[in-house]
Amino acid sequence: MENLVSIGKAAKILGVSEITLRRWDYEGKLPSIKTEGGHRRYDISKLRPEKVHKCTALADDRKTVAYARVSSHGQKADLERQKQVLELFCSQNGWTFELISDLGSGMNCHKKGLAKLLNAILTDDVGRIVLTHKDRLLRFGAELVFSICEAKNVEVVIINKGGEPSFEEELASDVLEIIAVFSARLYGSRSEKSEKLLEDVAKAVAEVRQTLV
């Protein structure tokens, strides 16, 4: 029993989402061991990411989509960084992929890139989506999209699963997303007032974080 790990730990080792592991369990590609309470456990000695990815790639000829997103125009540099990380990761895994990016809040689905991705998922054109972080897809509602992916047998690969943010950091990021949406509506998404408001809020959040360290 010492070699058994939780589904969350197994997902981190393999670099995939828990939803993907559940699908692989259903399909028999990577069976889990069930505890008396019905929880999935995985044998570390049997976790072979390259073998699982190869098996998935051979069984599914649908395309891979790498998705990147930032919330505001002031984060364009981060958007380019995300694209580079996604391109390198997909290339290293030998995946032919399409890169889709968005510039907009993660609080809603009103983005052209995300709409294109969701449509491709629903029409069975996508077999795998790759993200740098889970919240790059959506800050609120990502789990619903992941559930759709599970129903459509779409693999979700999240590159950076380690170093999960604290509750305070996630709350601060959520506040920034909310401010971004309302300031854009109030002043215009590209106005100097909007950018100044976001900078002031970010500065205040940073000061609060320092007090929590």
**Do 176 and 90 reside in the same domain of the chain?**
no
pTM equals 0.55
Q: Stretch 111-115: mean pLDDT, rounded? A: 88
**Do 143 and 204 reside in the same domain of the chain?**
no
Task: Please tell me the distance from the alpha carbon of residue 161 to that of residue 163, in angstroms, as a whole number.
Answer: 7
| CA angle (16, 18, 22) in 5-degree steps | 110
Q: Stretch 1-12: mean pLDDT, rounded? A: 78
**Do 37 and 111 reside in the same domain of the chain?**
no
Q: Stretch 80-102: mean pLDDT, rounded? A: 91
**Do 76 and 121 reside in the same domain of the chain?**
yes
Which alpha helices (H) appear in 49-158, and where do they start and end?
Answer: 49-59, 76-92, 112-122, 142-151
Burial classification of residue 155, based on how many CB atoms lie within 10 Å of its CB (0-12 exposed, 13-18 middle, 19 or more buried): buried
Q: Is the pLDDT of residue 206 over 70?
A: no
Structural domain boundaries, residue 184: 167-212
- Are the C-beta atoms of 99 and 145 separated by less than 8 Å? no
Q: What is the structure's pLDDT at 18?
A: 81
Q: What is the structure's pLDDT at 188?
A: 53
**Do 82 and 146 reside in the same domain of the chain?**
yes
Highest mean pLDDT among 53-57, 120-124, 179-183, 209-213: 120-124
**Do 52 and 71 reside in the same domain of the chain?**
no
Task: Please tell me the distance from the alpha carbon of residue 161 to that of residue 139, in angstroms, as a whole number.
Answer: 15
**Do 106 and 128 reside in the same domain of the chain?**
yes
Percentage of the chain beyond pLDDT 70 is 64
Q: What is the structure's pLDDT at 167?
A: 46
Q: Is the pLDDT of residue 111 over 70?
A: yes
Nearest one of 68, 69, 67, 1 to 35, comparing CA atoms: 1
Cβ atoms within 10 Å of 135's Cβ, excluding its own: 18
Residues involved in catalysis: 71
Q: Is the pLDDT of residue 98 over 90?
A: yes
**Do 32 and 121 reside in the same domain of the chain?**
no
Place of tokens 């997303």: 177
CATH of the domain at 36: 1.10.1660.10
**Do 152 and 75 reside in the same domain of the chain?**
yes
Q: Stretch 70-88: mean pLDDT, rounded? A: 87
The bridge status of strand 97-103 relative to strand 63-70 is: parallel
**Do 47 and 67 reside in the same domain of the chain?**
no
Q: Stretch 66-90: mean pLDDT, rounded? A: 88
Q: Stretch 112-127: mean pLDDT, rounded? A: 90
pLDDT class of 109 with cuts at 50, 70, 90: low
pLDDT tens profile 158-203? 888 654 555 455 555 555 555 555 555 555 555 565 566 556 656 6
Domain boundary, last residue among 57, 79, 95: 57
Higher per-residue confidence, 47 vs 21: 21
- How many domains does one find in the chain? 3
**Do 204 and 185 reside in the same domain of the chain?**
yes
CATH of the domain at 112: 3.40.50.1390
**Do 179 and 144 reside in the same domain of the chain?**
no
